Amino acid sequence: MINASITTLNLLLEDSCESFANRPAAGLAFQPPLRYEEFYQKAIEVAALLKERGIKKGDRVAILADNSPQWGIAYFGIIRLGAIAVPILPDFPEADVKHILNEAGAKILFTNQRQLEKLYELHATKLKSVITLDDAADQNNLVETLPFSRFLATVNDLPEKKHALGADLAAPDDIASIIYTSGTSGHAKAVMLSHNNFISNVRSTLSIFPDEPIHGWTFLSILPMSHAYEFTTSFLVPLATGSRIVYAGKTPTPTVLERICKQEQPTIMCMVPMVMEKIYKKKVLPAITANVFMRTAMKLPLVRRKILQKIGHKLQIFFGGNLKFVAIGGAALNIEVERFLAEAGFPYLVGYGLTEASPLVSAGPCGDPTIALGSAGKPVLDVKVRISKPNPETGLGEIQVKGPNVMHGYRGNPEATAEILSPDGWLSTGDLGFLDPQGNLSIKGRSKSVIVLSHGENIYPETIEEKINAFQHVVESVVREHNNRLEALIYLDYELIDAETRGKDQARQLEHIDEILAGIKKQVNQQLPQYAQLAKASEHREPFTKTATHKIKRYLYTSNP
């Protein structure tokens, strides 16, 4: 647990620098990491240089870049001045990037080569300088573009540079980040999160960890740091504990992950369900359905257990063999995948959170035997959860959250803030769920996603999608209402289908796809009550558009189909 005297993110980094000065702090995979002392010193230099360029307390400075140690250095340089960091998701399109830069009034932007093409014609913004964290050069931008190394080198030109910055200029309730969500509702909002919001959630997150020293752990970072989930759990938590952060530097395909994990041997990883589900479908399912003998053996409980534990051990080796646990959150984990992880003895935790809560609300804790399969664990330290207007029979209602982790509101949008944040501090999440007798929180779906057909029964599409997504041929799906009937849009694994139909003509390939869809519809309907059965299962020929944590932007596919 971090010291009670630490009340801002700047104090957190100072304390870690004093305690772990020579320990490795952060670096890209296969490269030497920066030590804590080096990381801290570079952040101080960035702060001094930003101050020289006129950045002061309350100003907004944006970061639009892929994960790297330089990303974190830039962040701490910004907040050292009491300024506000505006992390922008790297996958945001050009129009969204320009809108955010304009609305936030960012004066300086830290970015990298991959993002430069989004930054032309920036005359409509207040942006004065662009600093490239990977030292990329760009001659076409309308504002000054400066490589990060050259930017840092100018610290030598500052007078009295060593004491250009004194104490931490931020107060606990000052805003540290403004994070623009990419929510499933389609309306991005500017979430204001303070130093205290983040510090409290770091403490809460640490409460779910095993009761053992954490310093010396290695965190493998594969999700964007600009998202609150990765920022808190895989950036602030390791920095607070003297751990080492390794940035993948590439898209975390199974092949890339295996190679990095073999070298870096992570202790902990935070991932979205899609990564684990892909590994399960590509590496586990083929092994347990390979032949009649294996399929028969899997029906015998004792034999099944031995087979799955052997696969679980191989999965541990896949991740480097040193894992304490994998934290899975950001979206719902398919129950079949979770059941496999549990039976295989693979160390994992499922959690729940949202940007407006900094983000963690519930998870684990590690080693608690009362954690229910399919749940998101228990509310974390200092975070209260209640169910609003629960159904008398099921206990299902809207999840509401209260605690020091809850946001200050949406910037420039008091109406939207008032809609979800009550005067006494309860945050309405828009998610439906229930608390079981052991205190586990289970998530049913979004309140706005509920489908009500003419018979009047509530249908939760996420529940049906989970059953569809368990099929090996399915990558993802959306269930929607169309003409008072339920329809499933299904994006299939075409790589698998191509392998199964190699040498066949196009007509036979299309016939095979139709057979797959018909089979899915039939088997799923056998698991559903009559009122919730699918009338149609249709092929969707491209991936669904998603948020940063790979939740499907449902509104794009359910509005006026």
Report the length, in residues, of the chain: 561
pLDDT at 166: 59
Evaluate the CA torsion angle 3, 9, 15, 17 in order and state its sign. Answer: positive
Span(s) in the chain for CATH 3.30.300.30:
450-558
3-state class of 16 per DSSP?
Answer: helix
Span(s) in the chain for CATH 3.40.50.12780:
9-195, 231-403+440-447
Contact 429, 354 (CB under 8 A): yes
Q: In terms of CATH architecture, what is 231-403+440-447?
A: 3-Layer(aba) Sandwich (3.40)
CA 514/CA 537 separation, integer angstroms: 9
pLDDT under 50: residue ranges of the chain: 163, 561
> Got the DSSP string for 262-324?
HHH--SEEEE-HHHHHHHIIIIIHHHHTSSHHHHHHTTSHHHHHHHHHHHHHHHHHHTTS--S
pLDDT at 181: 86
CA 552/CA 120 separation, integer angstroms: 29
pLDDT at 319: 95
> C-alpha angle 500/501/502, rounded to 5°?
100
CA 179/CA 182 separation, integer angstroms: 9
Peptide bond into 359 cis (omega under 30): yes
Walk across the sheet containing 384-388 and list its strands. 384-388, 397-402, 427-435, 441-446
CA 311/CA 89 separation, integer angstroms: 35
Q: Are strands 427-435 and 441-446 parallel, antiparallel or unpaired?
A: antiparallel
Contact 197, 403 (CB under 8 A): no
Contact 236, 285 (CB under 8 A): no
pLDDT at 555: 87
Q: Which residues pair with 34 in a beta bridge?
A: 26
Q: Which CATH number applies to 450-558: 3.90.580.10, 3.40.50.2000, 3.40.50.970, 3.30.300.30?
A: 3.30.300.30
Contacts of 322 (CB under 8 A, 6+ apart): 218, 265, 266, 267
pLDDT at 229: 94
Whether pTM > 0.95 for this model: the answer is: no
pLDDT at 165: 61
Class of domain 9-195: alpha beta
Contacts of 216 (CB under 8 A, 6+ apart): 23, 242, 243, 244
CA 480/CA 485 separation, integer angstroms: 8
3-state class of 236 per DSSP?
Answer: helix
